[in-house]
Copies of this chain bind each other. A is one copy, B any other.
Amino acid sequence: MFQKHNTIEKIKALKSNSGSHSPSIDTLKVSCPEIKIDIDACFLSNPYATELFMDHLRTDLISTEKLRSVLEFYPPQNAEVAKLISSAIGVSEKNIFVGNGAIEIIQAVIQAFVKKKICVIIPTFSSYYEFVGGDVEIIYYKLIKDHEFKLDVNHYMDFIKKHSPDAIVIINPNNPNGSYLSSDEIKYILNESTELGTVILDESFIHFAFEQDDYSQVSCEKLVNNYPNLVIIKSMSKDFGIAGLRAGYSVMEESRVKRLLSSGFLWNISGLANYFFTLYSNESFLKLYENLRKKYITETILFINELRSIQGIRVFPSKANFALIEIIDGRSSFDVFSKLLVNYNIYVRDCSDKIGLQGEFIRIASRTRSENDRIIKVLSEI
């Protein structure tokens, strides 16, 4: 009992040292070796896609001994990698900026293109306000719990017109709640925002969203040709389950790509991330991926529905691969978070550091079917 109490205190300290993010699994293991993590439902990724990537890596690089040259030599420059992505998404390479994870792109885009005032929708991914330069004013547009954290686009656009920021950020689906804006809603916002300097649209979770019954992919990447102020940011960590690789890209006006590349970002992805992008531009890989993406969506929908049947919690609507959950039985989010971790080896996201959330919230990612079943079982028990 004392041991467990000690562990919980250590986790508290670790969380506070990690700022507004969760400590990585590696950091947790080093600091609290007594903790065992069986299920990482803090990290938001498709585990089936990780396995697909690993299969290719084993066949292409490990068993052929080609891995050495991928690790030994310099990777191609940014603009070379952009060509691979161009062939995958059907957008000119001149509009593509490659990033060392989406987070490098967030940092670069916010610091290069936001001049005076940025509007951030909260709750959100904290880097969108933490990395903003000191001279830039941040205004917050708050999603309403009573509206299930769904953005009311008309109300939002009134707010934007009233406050005249030069940049706005929309994450779609939003993190940490998963609420989704349809392509039509995004187009409405873009049409109403043509006077704005920069519209940042983060589609890091878009592969888990859908508008058709067949779950076919939705994305606004191609709209960059119609809206020169649109900057789309795309992480590869979530949909392909490869956060350790650090790979992302951004689609934006050609002059913006040029401006960023003239200031650096030369060899900013690793040889393995470049290898991933060669797969990303490979049709047969994408076909296999597409099946796993749809399988994972099916299981995620089931998981979120099962969460809804558990008493003492409120589950918010999500078209991402996670659900935001409010604890409504009087316990704190840290209490539930640490109990899941220490007693059940399940790692979820305590959202107590998220601005814009009043109440006790945790975020749980969908994992494999069997992991999801275990999460449902444990949550039902406690």
What 1/0 flags go to A57-81 for Cβ under 8 Å of B?
1000010000111111111110110
A16 interface residue per 8 A CB criterion: no
B interface footprint on A103-138 (CB within 8 Å = 1, 0 otherwise):
110110001000000000000000100110100000
Q: Does B71 contact A24, Cβ atoms closer than 8 Å?
A: no
Judged by a CB distance under 8 angstroms, whether A215 is at the interface is no
* Minimal beta-carbon separation of A60 from chain B (angstroms): 14
A264 within 8 A of B: yes
**Cβ 8 A contact of A77, one of B24, B101, B130, B272:** B24
- Provided the pairs A21-B266, A77-B18, A104-B268 are in contact, do residues A242 and B72 lie with their beta carbons within 8 angstroms? yes
A263 interface residue (CB < 8 Å to B): yes
B71 contacts A50, C-beta separation under 8 Å: yes
- Nearest CB on B from A44, distance (A): 10
Contacts of A237 in B (CB 8 A): 74
What is the minimal beta-carbon distance from A238 to any residue of chain B, in angstroms? 11
Contact residues of A between 23 and 76, Cβ < 8 Å to B: 23-27, 30, 40, 43, 45, 47, 50, 53-54, 57, 62, 67-76
- How big is the A interface, by class? 35 or more
- Contact, CB under 8 Å: B263 / A76: no
Asked whether A133 and B263 contact (CB < 8 A) given A40-B73, A77-B24, A268-B100, the answer is yes
Whether the Cβ atoms of A244 and B73 lie closer than 8 Å is yes
CB distance from A113 to the nearest CB of B (A): 14
With A40-B73, A270-B244 as contacts: A107 and B50 at CB distance below 8 Å: no
List residues of chain A with CB under 8 Å of any chain B CB. Answer: 17-19, 21, 23-27, 30, 40, 43, 45, 47, 50, 53-54, 57, 62, 67-77, 79-80, 100-101, 103-104, 106-107, 111, 127, 130-131, 133, 237, 241-246, 262-274
